[in-house]
Chains A and B, each alone.
Chain A
Amino acid sequence: MRQSKKKQYVSSVQFQRAGCWLCSFILAIVALLSCTPVKEYQKNKLNDSEMVLTNRKIEKTELSFLSYREGASGANAGKSGGGCGCN
Chain B
Amino acid sequence: MKKLTLATIALYLGILSVFAQPLKQNDSAYKKRKLSFEEANLISSYYQQDGNNSSITGGIGTEKLTDLSTQFSIKLTKVDRKWRKHTFDLEMGIDHYTSASSDRIDLKANSSASYNDTRFYPSANWSMENEKKGTTVGAGGSLSVEFDYVSVGGQFNASKKTKDKSGEWGVKVFTYLDNLKMILPVELRSGPFIPRGTQYPWTDRNTFGTSLSYTQIVNTKLQLALLADVIFQQGFLGLPFHRVYFSDNSVHMENLPTTRWKIPVSLRFSYFASDHLILRGYYRYYQDDWDLSAHTLSIEPVIKPTAFFSISPFYRLYVQQATKYFAPYQVHTAANRFYTSNFDLSSFTSHFFGSGMRLATPGGVLGWSKLSALELRYGHYTRTNNLVSDVISLNLTLR
Contacts and interface: CB of A to CB of B under 8 A. Distances in A.
Contacts of A62: 45, 47, 352, 377, 379, 391, 393
A35 to B, nearest CB: 5
Interface residues of B, number: 109
A72 B292 contact: yes
B189 to A, nearest CB: 20
Interface in A42-81: 42-43, 45-46, 48-53, 56-62, 65-66, 68-77, 80-81
A84 B102 CA distance: 14
- Dominant SS at the B interface? strand
Given A59-B377, A60-B43, A72-B284, A84 B229 contact: no
A82 B205 CA distance: 8
Contacts of A86: 239
B227 A70 contact: no
Interface stretch (B2-10, B11-19, B143-151, B193-201): B143-151
B292 A81 contact: no
Contacts of B395: 56-58
Interface of B: 41, 43, 45, 47, 49, 65, 67, 69, 71, 73, 95, 97, 99, 101-102, 114, 117, 119, 121, 142, 144, 146, 149, 151, 153, 164, 166-167, 175-178, 180, 205, 207, 209, 211, 213, 215-229, 231, 233, 239, 262, 264-270, 272, 278, 280, 282-288, 291-296, 302, 304, 307, 310, 312, 318, 320-323, 344-345, 350, 352, 356, 358, 360, 373, 375, 377, 379, 381, 383, 387, 389, 391, 393-395
